[in-house]
A and B are shown apart, each in its own frame.
Chain A
Amino acid sequence: MKSYDHSFHAYIQGIILIGFALLMLGLVLSGNIGYYIAPQMMPFVYFGMMTFFLLGVVQIFRSTAKKNNQEEHQCGDHCDHDHQIKGPVWVKVLVYSIFILPVLSGFILPDRMLNSDLAGNRGIQFGSGLDLAQAAPEGADSPDGGEAPLSRAEAYLEDPEGYMDDLLNKSNESTGEDDEHYQIEDFYDQEWFDDFYLEFADELEQEEIITVTEANYLDVMTVLDLYLDRFVGKELEIIGFVYREADFEDHEIVAARFSMTCCTADAGVYGTLIESEEATEFENDMWIYARGVIKKGQYHDYQIPIITDSYLVEVEEPDSPYVYPSFNW
């Protein structure tokens, strides 16, 4: 039997497509899809799932139709047949195994979030990724960067209206003509961005305790980086998984979160350093709730916020283990 068995291949392909669709459906139903894909990308997953079901069913019909209807695939013989899987049987088996592999591993292996081993390889960031090379890498010897945020804040406090006007003018100059093409930009232009963090910082300052939630995680990290001096001495509460750098001392741990933009391939690790005598009681990857007082500290020449006098307790893994950038489009 040398001829290419179209109907069989259509049939197997249809079943594999349905397998993919089932995998996606299963992940969506159990909510575990959250371990793999950011909420922002979910419409695409629904699209993929629906399309796979549809194509799978079409393929299976195609396989039955072929048997009694020779001229089915309109191209007939003069169509390009490069979509056939060429080679001996074992190649065909191998090719289909490649497609079946993710479906099986997706169903069988447990759905879990990335863990602290990976955090170590990624390198943790004590602050926000959105920000601001300037605010972070000034060590002891470059006073420049450290003062910029503060002085801007002061400028604002002294003369809010003048400061805002100033910003407005500057941002108008810079954004220029692109505004018309990219609406999101209007929304998030320079003035808005500064304004947002400044307002957010003011808001946080009013709070008795700064509560870091999934929704405001990256924003709080940014604000702490930008305006750390304003928050020294305030209380902060945060939930994260335990992580340690190799050079940590016994009383130091990090409450960390993975951030995700599209999928876990772009995940980053953000963490807050905590000093506590009880730190040794907590193992890596445990989820903890921490509450303590913010102080200004240093790690590897970076100025970072450190939580001291902490109260630590183990908690359940949150429903949404990752944190996401707060802007959605």
Chain B
Amino acid sequence: MKTMKLKGIGKDLLGMALLFLFLLLFLFNDSLNNSEMLNNIPSALINVNTIFLSIVLEAIPFILLGVFISSLIQIYVSEETLQRFIPKNAIAALIPAALLGAILPLCECAIVPVVRRLIKKGMPLHIGVVFLVAAPILNPIVFASTYFAFKDPFSQTNTVLYSRMGLAFVLSIIIGAIFYAVFKNNSQQLRGNVPVHHDHSHQYEEKKPTIFSRIRDAFYHAVDEFFMMGKYLIIGAFIAALFQTFLNRDVLQSIGTNDYSSTMVMMGFAYLLSLCSEADAFVASSFRSSFSEMSLVAFLVYGPMLDLKNTFMLFALFKSRFVLVFIVTVTIVVFAAIAILYGIIL
């Protein structure tokens, strides 16, 4: 008993020390910033840190948004309601899912916890996959930023914009259908073997929960999910920052010499950079002089569906086999679609 008590005090002190450290750093932030020693750190390291923090600080509000929506779903949407809204026919449900993805203004960080929660609530896996790939591209903000970035004063049609949006819509349905075929009989792909049905029956037990306790629960769920996903975001952001700092972009041009190899290069590049789908159009447009439109569209379609930072988050939430199938399917489908669109149709 006594050791446990001591342990408890030790833990309290540990937390106190951490909080104290944060407060101290907060107060002396300015003098640290100006200190000689720290300013002599190699500038490459500081560049990595700048990009790393920048990605983390930018992604965090969107992850929080995602986990809040997820915990609202958790508390207010029952499995029964969800079942009623999903068409019985698995294939027929794909199109409304892609359309719904277009309405949800969520980027690729925020969509992950939302999809996980919906699947947990009993939404079919392949519908979740449609959301996962459609929502980050088919959304008003991405539409607007792509529109500006590829606005061309000397031509009236914005082919990049329409190719990007059209492909996202069609491919999300195709990818959803493939997932339906592959995981039809094995749709338990979330990590942690939670039987779907006895998940949250407590909502209907005994006393009805008060509004206060509902809000409290929403907060608790939000924190838990943030800590579950946040670590993967941070690792992903760090690796992406390394690539951002040390990858020389001239190298890309020397690898991607023809249309198809440059498409592959830009897809790989989109994966490594882990940009937010709301800003990637501007990065893509800076490559216009040296890369073909085909490879830029590949960059814009593939990046939001799948990137380094997202892969880490997916591994946190889904079984490895699912994530691997996801990576392979998305990669092949996007590449094939781009090749067909630009090789044959346009």
Interface residues of A (CB under 8 A from B): 1, 5, 8, 10-13, 15-20, 22-27, 30, 32-33, 35-37, 41, 44-45, 47-48, 51-52, 54-55, 58-59, 62, 73-76, 78-83, 85, 95, 98-115, 117-118, 120-123, 125, 129-134, 136-137, 148-149, 152, 170-171, 173-174, 181-182, 184-185, 188, 190, 193-194, 197, 226, 259, 261-266, 268, 302, 325, 327, 329
Complex Cα distance A184/B146, Å?
12
CB neighbors of A among B14-70 (8 A): 14-15, 18-19, 22-23, 25-26, 29-30, 32-35, 38-39, 41, 43-47, 49-58, 60-62, 64-65
Q: Is the CB of B25 within 8 A of A263?
A: no
Interface residues of B (CB under 8 A from A): 4, 7, 11-12, 14-15, 18-19, 22-23, 25-26, 29-30, 32-35, 38-39, 41, 43-47, 49-58, 60-62, 64-65, 120, 140, 143-145, 147-149, 151-154, 156-157, 191-192, 194, 198-202, 209, 213, 216-217, 219-220, 222-228, 230-231, 234-235, 240-241, 244-250, 273-276, 278-280, 282-283, 285-286, 288-289
7 pairs, A vs B, C-beta closer than 8 Å: A55-B223, A110-B32, A113-B50, A174-B157, A190-B151, A261-B279, A263-B276
Q: Which residue of A lies closest to B43 (CB)?
A: A115
Given A8-B11, A170-B156, A194-B153, A19-B22 contact (CB < 8 Å)? yes
Q: Which residue of A lies closest to B140 (CB)?
A: A182
Contacts of B274 in A (CB 8 A): 265
Q: Is the CB of B50 within 8 A of A36?
A: yes
Given contacts A130-B285, A263-B279, 12 further A-B contacts (CB under 8 A): A17-B223, A75-B217, A80-B199, A83-B227, A83-B228, A108-B38, A125-B286, A129-B285, A174-B157, A188-B147, A194-B153, A265-B58
Contacts of B143 in A (CB 8 A): 182
Contacts of A174 in B (CB 8 A): 156-157
Q: Is the CB of B240 within 8 A of A265?
A: yes
Contacts of B231 in A (CB 8 A): 95, 98-99
Choose one: B22, B53, B245; the contact of A36 (CB below 8 Å).
B53
Q: Is the CB of B279 within 8 A of A262?
A: yes
Q: Which residue of A lies closest to B11 (CB)?
A: A8
Q: Which residue of B lies closest to A100 (CB)?
A: B18
- Rank and list the top 9 A-B pairs by shortest CB-CB distance, nearest first: A82-B192, A83-B224, A48-B61, A107-B25, A44-B61, A174-B156, A262-B279, A264-B54, A263-B58
Contacts of A47 in B (CB 8 A): 61, 64-65
Contacts of A131 in B (CB 8 A): 153
Q: Which residue of A lies closest to B39 (CB)?
A: A110
Choose one: B12, B19, B157; the contact of A18 (CB below 8 Å).
B19
Contacts of B224 in A (CB 8 A): 83
Contacts of A327 in B (CB 8 A): 148
Choose one: B56, B240, B273; the contact of A102 (CB below 8 Å).
B56
Contacts of B151 in A (CB 8 A): 130, 188, 190, 193
Complex Cα distance A20/B49, Å?
16
Q: Is the CB of A48 within 8 A of B60?
A: yes
CB B330 to nearest CB in A, in angstroms, measures 21
Q: Is the CB of B153 within 8 A of A78?
A: no
Q: Is the CB of A193 within 8 A of B279?
A: no
Q: Is the CB of B289 within 8 A of A137?
A: yes
Q: Which residue of B lies closest to A49 (CB)?
A: B61
Contacts of B245 in A (CB 8 A): 118, 121
Q: Is the CB of A129 within 8 A of B54?
A: no
Contacts of B156 in A (CB 8 A): 170-171, 173-174, 190
Complex Cα distance A105/B193, Å?
37
Q: Is the CB of A74 within 8 A of B209?
A: yes
Q: Is the CB of B25 within 8 A of A108?
A: yes
Given A37-B58, A108-B32, A266-B275, A117-B44 contact (CB < 8 Å)? yes
Contacts of B273 in A (CB 8 A): 265
Complex Cα distance A233/B144, Å?
37
Which of A33, A59, A109, A173 has the most chain B CB atoms closer than 10 A to its own CB? A109
Contacts of B60 in A (CB 8 A): 20, 48
Contacts of B140 in A (CB 8 A): 181-182
Choose one: A11, A51, A125; the contact of B11 (CB below 8 Å).
A11
Given A8-B11, A98-B234, A110-B46, A264-B282 contact (CB < 8 Å)? no
CB A84 to nearest CB in B, in angstroms, measures 9
Complex Cα distance A265/B56, Å?
10
Given A25-B26, A118-B245, A262-B278, A130-B149 contact (CB < 8 Å)? yes
Contacts of A100 in B (CB 8 A): 18
Complex Cα distance A103/B53, Å?
9
